[in-house]
Structure 1
Amino acid sequence: MRYSPDHKAQTREKLLASSSAIAKHGGFASTGVDGLMKAIGLSGGAFYSHFPSKNELFGAIVERELSHSLELLGHNGAGRDRLQRCLQLYLNIAHVQQPDAGCALPSLGAEIARAELPVRERAEHWLVRLQQAWATELENPELAWAIIAQCVGALLLARMLASPEQQQAVLDSSLALLAPQLASRD
């Protein structure tokens, strides 16, 4: 059977999307190549026609996820009101309860920190770009880093808690802390 010319690219994208969701839900290190490939209906042996190693797949996942975060959150000139709306969407109970559909940092941050240097460099590249976009909007580079850290930390902490009430309390507290920092300057 002949495949279309873009079949390999489509399969690679399916593998990246599926592996991202699996990694964000249950961790990347704990899932083997066979499990990642089975999720898209292929054998483990087909993996190596798309990535030379599992580590290379992890690097591609990090780049894909963080570049997507920049697209969603890093619009220069969009205004503090838009930034506030982004934070309300990020610090939301649905984001806590659906890690596979959300930001990779709370789910994969510890694995990124333990990854080889090229993976951490990819993460740094995209995080710095997000920080720079927010720093431009906020006119404060330190505040931009603090907001990113607060958001990722709050989401991680909320996911660690058992009761929805305590999860919501963490999110509400973080939003209350950040709101005055994001108030529009007139």
Structure 2
Amino acid sequence: MARYAKEHKQVTRQRIIEKAGRRFKQDGIDGSGITTLMADAGLTNGAFYAHFASKDDLVANVVAEELRSQAEGYDTLRPGRQGLEDFVRGYLSPEHRDQPGTGCPSAALLDEIGRCADVTKQAYTEGATAIVEEIAGRLAPADPQSARGRAIGLFTMMVGTLQLSRALADRKFADEVLERGIENAHTFMN
């Protein structure tokens, strides 16, 4: 019985993290209270502290999981630069822009993460490092360290481009920002 309880607790914890990730990206960290987050997971407020020490603890876990999941997504891409090209086009697409709840945590939460507790910043740093390393490995498979600067440039340009496109009320201008972002990405990829 204890094993079932432990597995059930882990499944429940994971459900809270996944639902909170979507909610945070949609409404922001500060705009998402524990009551709403737990309701999204189909649980009561009282169950929260059985899984997390604080909201900061939940945020750090969500950020780590979101970035881990994003980095794992690279495994589904075509090898090398072709896969990186696919990633850039998908990332800087109107579909990604228009669905922040299911998209990149960096583009949705970066401004708030900068104001979060150190544990969240550390989780973000580790996740962002893994993403930069993955990009660098695709830019220069034989020597990813030499491509690190370009990988950082590509990653930051993509995140900023998506954020700007999301902030624009003029749809045509927002689409143009994404198109120019794809063109700019090529400068980092060559």
The alignment's TM-score, normalised by the length of structure 2, stands at 0.89
The alignment's TM-score, normalised by the length of structure 1, stands at 0.91
Deviation at 1:81, TM superposition (A): 0.9
The residue identity in structure 2 corresponding to 1:129 is: A
Identity within the alignment, %: 27
Deviation >4 Å, runs of 4+: 74-77
Please say if 1:160 is aligned against 2:161.
no
Distance 2:8 2:99 in 1: 30
- The alignment's C-alpha RMSD in Å is 2.1
Deviation at 1:76, TM superposition (A): 10
Distance 1:122 1:44 in 2: 25
- Runs (5+) with no aligned partner, structure 1: none
Instruction: Name the one with the larger helix percent.
Output: 2
Please say if 1:182 is aligned against 2:189.
yes
Cα distance 1:76–1:107, how it changes in 2: closer, same or farther (>3 A)?
Answer: closer
Please say if 1:104 is aligned against 2:95.
no
Distance 2:173 2:126 in 1: 34
User: What's the CA shift string for 1:96-152, capped at 9, x where partnerless?
Assistant: 100001001111101111111121111111111221222233231111000000100
Cα distance 1:76–1:97, how it changes in 2: closer, same or farther (>3 A)?
Answer: closer
Tell me what 1:150 maps to: 157
Moved more, 3-12 or 71-80: 71-80
Cα distance 1:98–1:159, how it changes in 2: closer, same or farther (>3 A)?
Answer: same
- Runs (5+) with no aligned partner, structure 2: 141-146
Distance 2:3 2:166 in 1: 42
User: What's the CA shift string for 1:21-43, capped at 9, x where partnerless?
Assistant: 11000001122111111112211
